[in-house]
């Protein structure tokens, strides 16, 4: 197999709680991760040269060297299995960058999956996740995808039922946020209100979309919103346009709104563009759970 085309899907958080700051500096979290339809397109091609080359079709400011997570993912497996032949990685970025949607982690997960198949390395999903967490806490989830409870630093995953069908509006302002900065400024002992993660899980089990939206919460908003008030402005627009719920994803600054009807989502997207508070606006949907590894494999085979 000389070439593969892979969809690296982004994520949002339906709930994000930080339990404590560990002695090693990492934060212990309890959050519900949800894959969405928005994706980067990754192409892997065996090259006639040697080593790894990485190019970007539409984001020239990305690091196109060993500092890119996609490069690191390929390099990790190639070194382990002694591969020295040429590999070209082409990135077509659609997920907003530095926006709380795990775009870089999704790319790395896609490359781990693709390199494993391209070279017939025979690694299972669990074995890929064990290697992925060495590069980033979100990578094991991005390999799994669907709906999941993430605990620990994000690497302990439990599959959950998919939320009911809904339309999403995802908006990103003209700002980037450093996850490291947000967690560095988070004072865990001063968190005023923790989201009801267990209650959110119950809503997923009962397929109660309205109650799910009422229970959504993200403790990182208390850090990111004061630094970027436009996040709150986008949330207000979404709620005014009929969103059942609107929240910042991850460390931000991306905001998503959940709508029962696609027509409502389309009207909200248009309203956001008119306000000019959002640099990027997307209308999409939840990407469903199920057997994550099988779904991932089937999609990849269809795109090879």
Beta bridge partners of 121: none
Q: Which secondary-structure segment (H or E) carries 48?
A: strand 27-50
| Alpha carbons 78 and 74: distance in angstroms, whole number | 6
Q: Give the Cα-Cα-Cα angle 175, 168, 287 (nearest 5 degrees).
A: 105
| Alpha carbons 144 and 141: distance in angstroms, whole number | 5
Q: Which two tokens stand for residue 211?
A: 């109650």
In the block, residue with structure tokens 């991005």: 142
Q: Which two tokens stand for residue 213?
A: 């939206």
Give every CB contact of residue 225 below 8 A, 6+ residues apart in sequence: 231, 232, 248, 252
* Counts of helices then strands in the chain (DSSP H, E): 11, 11
3 state DSSP class of 267: helix
Cα R_g (the chain), whole angstroms: 19
- Residues acting as catalytic residues: 11, 138
């Amino acid at each position: 197999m000389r070439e593969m085309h892979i969809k690296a899907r982004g994520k949002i958080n339906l709930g994000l709680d930080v339990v404590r700051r560990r002695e090693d500096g990492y934060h212990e979290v309890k959050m519900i991760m949800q894959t969405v339809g928005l994706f980067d397109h990754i192409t892997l091609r065996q090259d006639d040269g040697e080593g790894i080359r990485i190019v970007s079709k539409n984001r020239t400011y990305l690091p196109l060297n060993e500092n890119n997570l996609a490069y690191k993912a390929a390099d990790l497996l190639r070194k382990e299995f002694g591969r020295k032949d040429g590999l070209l990685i082409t990135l077509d970025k659609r997920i907003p960058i530095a926006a709380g949607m795990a775009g870089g982690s999704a790319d790395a997960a896609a490359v781990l999956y693709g390199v494993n198949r391209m070279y017939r390395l025979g690694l299972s999903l669990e074995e890929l996740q064990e290697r992925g967490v060495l590069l980033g806490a979100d990578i094991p989830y991005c390999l799994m995808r669907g709906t999941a409870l993430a605990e620990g630093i994000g690497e302990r995953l439990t599959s959950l039922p998919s939320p009911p069908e809904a339309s999403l509006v995802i908006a990103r302002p003209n700002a980037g946020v450093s996850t490291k900065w947000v967690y560095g400024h988070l004072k865990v002992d001063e968190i005023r209100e923790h989201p009801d993660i267990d209650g959110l899980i119950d809503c997923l089990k009962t397929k109660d979309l309205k109650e799910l939206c009422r229970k959504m919460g993200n403790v990182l908003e208390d850090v990111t919103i004061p630094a970027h008030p436009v996040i709150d402005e986008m949330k207000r627009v979404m709620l005014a346009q009929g969103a059942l719920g609107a929240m910042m994803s991850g460390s931000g600054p991306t905001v998503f709104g959940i709508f029962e009807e696609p027509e409502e989502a389309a009207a909200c997207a248009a309203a956001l563009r008119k306000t000019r508070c959002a640099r990027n606006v997307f209308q999409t949907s939840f990407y469903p759970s199920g057997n994550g590894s099988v779904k991932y494999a089937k999609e990849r085979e269809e795109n090879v």
